[in-house]
Homo-oligomer: A and B are copies of this chain.
């Protein structure tokens, strides 16, 4: 169900597939997302298209930031959300050699009936 929008510096383009894989696997492992439920946009952005504060809340950001915005169903617990954030940052860092400080994540929750996965059907509507 999730639709994931990954925006990252163009300099990271050779590592974009690794970022995409790491984000998806983190969702499978911590967020009850089925392995074959994968829908992502991955957007490399030249300087000027990705604007990020140099530091916020004590976290410093460099030139190679990654924004991960995930539209998903509601109802996950705070513990699950914390596990997801931790796992995405750790695995993007490890698998794509990106500073975990530079991984910014946002969830947008929307009802299960708000999805169609093809053929014009509302597969998740009760």
Contact = CB atoms under 8 A, between A and B. Distances in A.
B107 A114 contact: yes
Nearest to A89: B120
A24 B87 CA distance: 30
Interface of A: 3, 7, 16-17, 20, 24, 34, 36-45, 48-57, 59, 61, 67, 69, 71, 78, 81-82, 85-90, 100-111, 113-123, 125
6 contacts: A38-B51, A71-B108, A81-B113, A101-B119, A103-B116, A108-B114
Given A36-B53, A106-B114, A107-B114, 11 more contacts: A39-B51, A41-B51, A43-B49, A71-B106, A71-B108, A82-B122, A82-B125, A88-B120, A89-B119, A107-B115, A108-B110
